[in-house]
Amino acid sequence: MDDMFNLYEHRGVLVVEVLVQKFDFLVISECSRYLRSCLEKREYPSTVFDIGRVVIIDSSVFGFLLEIYKTVTKKGNKIAIVCRDRLVLNAMNLLTLPQIIPVFDTLEAAADHLAV
């Protein structure tokens, strides 16, 4: 999974950096168990999903992010997304995802939001 994700801490939040350009059902079905396990080991901290490299995404990923959002918020923490690709942002907006999970164009902006 190291070729698909880079997990690290930044300013007290967990960052899940997605290293692939195509983040879809095939990727999430292969990696969701791994990502859940990583979050569970850390007790579901405030987390930024950095999908800045992603140019193709589908609704299965959004479903996974909403599932993680519910679990993280039950623990009293927050989640945010970093995204800069216009088409990916359009897909998120069509599904009204930013109304639930805040989306930022930089890691610093997302970390600022989660620090509040």
**In contact, 52 and 46? CB cutoff 8 Å:** no
Answer for the pair 49, 81: CB distance below 8 angstroms, yes or no. Answer: yes
- Please give the mean pLDDT across all residues of the chain: 95
Helix (H, G, I), strand (E, B) or coil at 85: coil
How much is the pLDDT for 67? Answer: 96
Q: Are 49 and 39 in contact (CB under 8 A)?
A: no
Which tokens sit at 58? 């589908």
The tokens of 88 are what?
A: 């990916």
| Residue pair 39/71 in contact by the 8 Å Cβ criterion | yes
Token digits for 34? Answer: 């791994």
pLDDT tier at 31, thresholds 50, 70, 90:
very high
Average pLDDT over residues 41-66: 96
> What's 5-115's CATH class?
alpha beta
Share of the chain above pLDDT 70, in %: 99
